[in-house]
Amino acid sequence: MNPLRRMSLKGRLLLILLSAMVALQVLSFGGAGLRHGFESRSLRNEVIARDIVYAHGQLRGLAPPERALRAAQMRRGGYWFQVVSIADTTPASDHADFRLILLDVRKWAATPPMASAIVKAGAADAIRLSLDAQQDVLVHFDQALASTRPPFVGIALYIAAVSALVLWIAWIAVRVATRPLDVFTHAANRLAHDVETAPLSTDGPMEVRDAARAFNAMHVAIRRQLLERSQILAAISHDLKTPLTRLTLRLATFESSDQRALMEADVDAMAGLVQEGLDFARSQQLRESKVPVDLNRLVQSIVDQATDLGQDCQIAGHCARPFPAAPRALERVLQNVVDNGLRYGTQVRITLQDHTDAVEIQVHDNGPGLPTELLEKVFEPYFRAESSRSRSTGGTGLGLSIARNLVQAHGGCIDLAPGNGGGLVVRIVLPLPGPAQGR
């Protein structure tokens, strides 16, 4: 897959901005540099040509023996003169700049030199002009002047510095531009955990406001649908209760028989289903207000009830701080989980543990456990693992769904894991409210 496609949005925007900026700079530098180089070169050539005309005139006016000294005195920054005998030959050469200078020299000299040429003097090119029948003058150029290449290193440094600046500004711009995305990600995550979460703020730039409004509208629609669903479930369950009660009463008037016992068992099972359905519908919203709950005592009371019935249930660990919770809801959660442990196993160990920002409750049983692929599936409403479909361990398959709803209503999470040494571990983590939101 193309790595650019997997790049973060921030990275992509940065790359686009930066490459646009660098391309722009290289182009504008190239253009300006070329034009500037061209103009300054022709200007420089002109000045040099005039100076050479002057120097040539000076040297020609002197007696041959005096010329060498005078030539040495006429050293310029960038080029210098050397008087040579015409016997000292130099091979012909060519140089674009020198050709232009030479043209100007010929044009401006009052009496142009008899002969003039571009020659190779040593390693570099030079201009050779004749002075008289015995002597010529060579105009040597320093390397810096002979070279007309623009200062690439300087330009590269400049572009790097500007690019760094642009990168910094672009980084800020990109952060500003992508911040709303982070806000939406957070909001969606919050919504996934708690449909009752507060709506998004509709401040900010127009597009963000529109998106936030759309998000809030979606949030309202989800909440309405959930509410409708649980209202229907609650209404059906509630309305079924009355005929079920009547059925129970009518059955009681029948003569007792095997048939009656079977029917009573069925009505009981139906009543159980109805009650669980009602509880599930209600578990989607907390109906009690939260109060500080002593988790140690809450768990202890559940353990006590189990041991009173002769079951093997023990508690370990301790929570130092009270936890703000809906006490009956939290009791329901723990009751469901402990009941499961004792129903599918014979022994339950509950551990309480404080963390810095949460409390954790683990319920470990010695039952058969669950295959990994079912660990999440069993939280679905009415789902029961195949092995537990027998009447003897009859449940409705709503216990864990109710527990998860209630835990999530406390901002917490509940999940299952295979126990160390067999059995199942139910892990409930309840986050303590931060200092800002002490509800």
Ligand X SMILES: Nc1ncnc2c1ncn2[C@@H]1O[C@H](COP(=O)(O)OP(=O)(O)O)[C@@H](O)[C@H]1O
Report the interface residues with ligand X, using CB under 6 A: 336, 340-341, 344, 365, 367-370, 378, 384-385, 388, 395-401, 424
Of 30-38, 52-60, 276-284, 332-340, the window that binds Mg ion (rule: CB under 5 A) is 332-340
| CA contacts within 13 A on the Cβ side of 324 | 13
**CA 316/CA 56 separation, integer angstroms:** 109
What type of residue sits at position 230? S
Please give the C-alpha separations between residue 116 and each of 134, 193, 226, 378, 398, in angstroms, as whole numbers.
14, 91, 99, 102, 108
Residue 395 makes contact with Mg ion by CB under 5 A: yes
Amino acid at 138: L
Tokens of 36: 């500037």
Nearer to ligand X, 18 or 385 (CB): 385
Residue 98's CB: how many other CB atoms inside 10 A? 22
Smallest distance, Å, CB 333 to ligand X?
A: 11
Segment lying near Mg ion (by CB under 5 A), choices 87-95, 309-317, 319-327, 388-396 = 388-396
User: Which residue is closest to Mg ion by CB?
Assistant: 399
The residue among 57 and 394 lying less far from ligand X, judged by its C-beta, is: 394
Selected binder of Mg ion within 45, 283, 284, 340 (CB under 5 A): 340
CA distances (Å), origin 133, targets 85, 118, 299:
9, 19, 122
User: Please, which residue, 48 or 398, has the CB nearer to ligand X?
Assistant: 398
User: Three-state SS string across 364-430, please?
Assistant: EECCCCCCHHHCCHHHCCCCCCHHHCCHHHCCCCCHHHHHHHHHHHCCCEEEEEECCCCCEEEEEEE
Alpha-carbon gap, residue 184 to 192, rounded angstroms: 12
Binding Mg ion (rule: CB under 5 A), the pick from 113, 341, 369, 399 is: 399
Kindly state whether residue 367 participates in binding Mg ion, applying the rule CB under 5 A.
no
The contact pattern for Mg ion, residues 7-36, with x = CB under 5 A and - = no contact, is ------------------------------
Residue 393 · residue 312 · CB < 8 Å: no
CA separation (Å) from 425 to 80, 193, 351, 418, 430?
94, 22, 10, 6, 16
- Range in contact with Mg ion (rule: CB under 5 A) among 184-192, 317-325, 386-394, 398-406: 398-406
DSSP per residue over 16-38, as a string?
Answer: HHHHHHHHHHHHHHHHHHHHHHH
Closest to ligand X by CB, 150 or 422: 422
What is the residue type of 137?
V
CB neighbour list of residue 399: distance below 8 Å, 6 or more residues apart: 276, 336, 337, 339, 340
| Nearest distance, CB of residue 302 and ligand X, angstroms | 15
Distance CA 414, CA 405 (A): 9
323 versus 379: smaller Cβ distance to Mg ion: 379
367 binds, among ligand X, Mg ion, none (CB under 5 to 8 A by kind): ligand X
The CB-of-434 to ligand X minimum distance in angstroms stands at 31
Does 345 sit near Mg ion (CB under 5 A)?
A: no
187 vs 428 by CB, closer to ligand X: 428
CA atoms within 13 A on the CB side of 132: 11
Instruction: Name which of ligand X, Mg ion, none residue 237 binds, using a CB cut-off of 5 to 8 Å depending on partner kind.
Output: none
CA distances from 221 to 99, 144, 225, 227 (A): 83, 76, 6, 10
Contact of residue 118 among ligand X, Mg ion, none (CB under 5-8 Å per partner type): none
In whole angstroms, the minimum distance from the beta carbon of 175 to ligand X comes to 45
104 binds, among ligand X, Mg ion, none (CB under 5 to 8 A by kind): none
CA distance 218 to 211: 10
Q: Which residue is nearest to ligand X (CB)?
A: 395
Residue 275 beta carbon to ligand X: minimum distance, rounded to whole angstroms: 12
Q: Which is nearer to ligand X, 253 or 390 (CB)?
A: 390
Nearer to ligand X, 137 or 425 (CB): 425
Q: Which is nearer to Mg ion, 59 or 342 (CB)?
A: 342
| Residues binding Mg ion (CB under 5 A) | 340, 395, 399
